[in-house]
Structure 1
Amino acid sequence: MATEQWFVGPLAAGSGETPPLDDLESGAQPCEDPSWSPPPGGPGNPPEAEPEKDVQGQLPQAPTSTLSPERPAPGPRPTPPRLPWDTMFSPITEQLCYLLKKADDFQSYLLYSRDRVQKEQLAKAMPTFLQMCEPYFLYLEAAARSVPPVYGALQELIRKGLLEISQQLTLRLEQLVLMYASFGFVNLEETDPLSISCFFCGRFSISPSYEVSIFRYCAPAAYTASRFPRYLYKKMRWNLETTPEASSREQDSHVDYYFLCYRDTWEDTGKSPANSCPQIQKLWSIGRWVPLGPAEDDLYSWILCPQPPGDYQQLLTIGFEEPSHMLATDLLVQILTGQEGPARPPSAAGPAAWAAQGS
């Protein structure tokens, strides 16, 4: 997958290029350079005694090998110090601070500016700011999740650090968009083409043929415009794009849609939220969009349809607590890969397989 280059400088300061991150594991040495060998006078290489001369005063002939069989091998080389965590993540955290500072500026102008014209200009700039964050999301998600990883076998600690940074920026942008929507400068209605109902927050690959894009809904959105299935609301969307292999007969790529949704269980009983237990109001799950129409060959039905109808193929029930942005994507990856390897495209399985998976 081609990932946009966001950082000009290396991840590690003090070197001309980025060292492989799998060399940062405990006990591993960053390089096999001869300069790491201990000095001749060190404990690993004791100083050699001056060679004795023979009776004629001549030096004996040099041996063919520098080490005799009886001579012990040099001692272990000293383990070089590991790169500090702050040094390795410095370019990434600096960029995060810059984007968070821009978000704070947008919020300050909105709250304290008395010039309505300036506020409207900021509202128009909001989509531009979200697009400005996209390369950063691309870097974080691809470096942490893509197979094969961008920088080799990432340690779990580094992977978690990258994803937590991505989650922190995602939540901040969601908060900012909701604030602008509360002032009436941003529309969150999904059926409006000019709205900011959701925003892009990363892309990664799970195999050479499968690529996942992540989208976050600023506010829960009805699963369909007709509210069918009933009381189902979307919070995240993942686009799974399948690219046919060179040996395949298929020529066009295909996209399947997966959602993080919750269902209002209190609406099934007809009771108001005040009379229901707060812990059982929302049941979270991950499912797949199953299109029900319009017909693909009927252009007019697509134009007249505000939102295509679709069914919800529930794949995983999470529980009554909303999963974090990072955990929800981890769960989706487990569903798609089956913990063993990339599964075949769900669209190729057919409705019978969908029903079997959801049961």
Structure 2
Amino acid sequence: MTDIEDQVELQLDKLPSEQQTFGDRLQEDVSGERWSDCGEEVEDPLPLLDDAALAPPGGKHAACSCDPEACCLLEVKCLERSLQSMQLQLQFFMTKSDNLHDCLMNGQGHLDRDSLAAVIPSFLRTCQPYFNHLESTARSTVSQYTSTPDICTKLLDFSQQLCDRLEQLVLAFASYNLLCLNESEPNSTSHFCIGQSRLGQLKMTVFRYCKATPYLARVDTGLYKRMRWNVERLQNKPKEVADEEQNGDSKEAEAETVGDTEYYFLCYEDIANTHTVTDSDSQGVCYSGTVRMWSIGQWVQVNPNPTTDDIYDWITCEVPQAIYHRLLFLGSDEPSSSGATDYLQQLLLSRQTKD
């Protein structure tokens, strides 16, 4: 073992075992039924998950005092040790999803189905800190460390597994008319958040539509969306402004502010496919049909005009209208949610490089 590895092991031994403690408590949740199987929340697990998902691997006040190479190795080893905890959390969410699905199918439990359906939106929100942790850790790590591709792949696989399971859960409840998937309805559960991550000065929040949804609510464009990415462009505040805010408030001032927000979508459209077959014995025979093509594009608003200063244009417009600016053609096979985010991330990073 090298001197740097010895130093890293010493640092790891000194770090508080918060991840392990959380894993033990979560295992107790899974086996001890602190959440009832049919929707009664005995103890809300959200604060517990927030603490585990958002805290640094070694504790809130952990700091690395070693040299940069050792710090990098320490970070990698922390990621390796956290994989087991992340897998345990995945097991917890998958088990809860299965239990809710079983209660729906079997009609068991003291809650009626309408009350059970009301648990689903809350359960989706409870999963969000876990999604955030997986996505931000894996995607930020990809750009920082070249020695952790296996770890990042596993974290994104956990995210994909949970996304697929939650989508099936929502569809099952919708098939019993217990959840609405119509995006235009106020109480709709048409989509849910599957993570947030940073790409330099960009903050990307990802949403998954449970089923193909028309690109525009009131206009048939032939486009159907399956994912949405809200990409916020973060801007550094001028030093004078940041100092003034910090002097006027005892809390730490934010060094960044949100600028413009761009919206990207994963969509498909059915395109007419006509071709002619000829042979030596017959004239050309024309065959026609449709092929489903997938693409990633950007929402470009046209009504109301996004640059207008007339507030009445916004008040009188019930539903904004926009065109779909295609950026990437992905072919006839639907990509996974994780794969589609990979494509968009590469596009955004290439744009940052050019800028």
TM-score, normalisation: structure 2: 0.66
Rg bigger for which structure?
A: 1
* Structure 1 partner of 2:97: 103
SS across alignment from 1:225: coil
Q: Mark the CA change 1:194 to 1:4 in structure 2 (over 3 Å): closer, same or farther.
A: same
Q: Which residue of 1 is the match for residue 155 of structure 2?
A: 162
Residue 314 of structure 1 corresponds to 326
Secondary structure of 1:292's counterpart equals strand
Matching residue within 197, 209, 213 for 2:205: 213
The answer on whether the counterparts of 1:266 and 1:281 sit within 8 Å (CA) in structure 2 is yes
**Identity across aligned pairs (percent)?**
34
Q: Which letter maps to 1:257?
A: Y
Q: 1:335 to 1:179 in 2, by over 3 A?
A: same
Q: Deviations over 1:260-291 (max 9, x none)?
A: 1000125999xxxxx976xx531000000000
CA contact (8 A) 2:191 2:208 kept: yes
Match of 2:52 in 1: 6
Q: Quick check: 1:198 aligned with 2:187?
A: no
How far apart in 1 are the matches of 2:110 and 2:223?
A: 37
**Structure 1: 5+ residue runs without aligned partners?**
31-82, 270-274, 345-359
Residue 293 of structure 1: aligned partner: 303
Within 1, Cα distance between the matches of 2:326 and 2:141? Answer: 26
RMSD: 3.7
Question: Is 1:334 the equivalent of 2:337?
Answer: no
Partner SS, residue 185 of structure 2:
coil
Can you list the C-alpha shifts for 1:83-140, whole angstroms capped at 9, x where unaligned? 996x652110100000001101110111111689621111111110000000000100
Counterpart contact for 2:294–2:331, Cα < 8 Å: yes
Q: Give the one of 140, 150, 172 matched to 2:134.
A: 140
Amino acid at match of 1:119: R
Instruction: Tell me which amino acid in the other structure corresponds to 1:132.
Output: T
Q: 2:229 is matched with which residue: 238, 257, 264?
A: 238
Residue 254 of structure 1 corresponds to: 260
Structure 1 residues 108 and 216, CA, compared in 2 at 3 Å: closer, same or farther?
same
2:226 & 2:328 partners in 1: Cα distance? 15
Counterpart position of 2:123: 129
User: How far does the alpha carbon of each residue in 1:169-194 deviate from its partner, in whole angstroms, 9 at most, with x for none?
Assistant: 00110110011111011101111121
Residue 177 of structure 1 is matched in structure 2 by: 170
CA contact (8 A) 1:7 1:91 kept: no
Which structure's residues are more often helix, by fraction? Answer: 2
Distance 1:171 1:161 in 2: 15
Preserved contact between residue 11 and residue 89 of structure 1 (Cα < 8 Å): no
The letter for the 2-side match of 1:181 is: A
Distance verdict in 2 for CA 1:342–1:173, change over 3 Å: farther
Counting matched residue pairs gives 271
Residues 225, 306 of structure 1: 8 Å contact kept: no
Equivalent position amino acid for 1:289 in 2 = W
- Unaligned 5+ runs, structure 2: 1-48, 65-69, 242-255, 276-286
Q: CA deviation at 1:239?
A: 0.6
User: Aligned partners of 2:235 and 2:302: how far apart in 1?
Assistant: 24
> Which amino acid is 1:242 matched to?
R
The DSSP-based 3-state class of the residue aligned with 2:303 is coil
> For residues 149 and 119 of structure 1, do their structure 2 counterparts lie closer, same or farther at Cα, with a shift above 3 Å needed?
farther
TM-score normalised to the size of structure 1? 0.66
For residues 217 and 338 of structure 2, what CA distance do their matches in structure 1 show? 28
The corresponding residue for 1:92 is: 86
Instruction: Indicate if the aligned counterparts of 1:236 and 1:259 stay in contact, CA closer than 8 A.
Output: yes
Give the deviation of 1:306 after TM superposition. Answer: 4.4
Report how far residue 341 of structure 1 moved: 4.0
Task: Measure the CA separation in 1 of the matches of 2:314 and 2:109.
Answer: 42
Change (3 A) 1:148 1:334: closer
Give CA deviations for 1:219-277 in whole Å, capped at 9, x if unaligned.
1111112335x2100000001101222249997621100001000125999xxxxx976
Cα distance 1:287–1:343, how it changes in 2: closer, same or farther (>3 A)?
farther
State how far apart, in whole Å, the 2-side matches of 1:244 and 1:165 are: 32
Q: Distance in 2 between matches of 1:100 and 1:276?
A: 44
Alignment check: 8 A CA contact 1:288 1:314 kept:
yes
Distance 1:315 1:307 in 2: 24
Which stretch shows the higher mean deviation, 114-123 or 181-190? Answer: 114-123
SS at match of 1:243: strand
Structure 1: distance between partners of 2:180 and 2:84: 36
Q: Which has the higher strand share?
A: 2
SS of 2:212's equivalent? strand
Residue of structure 1 in register with 2:41 after alignment: none
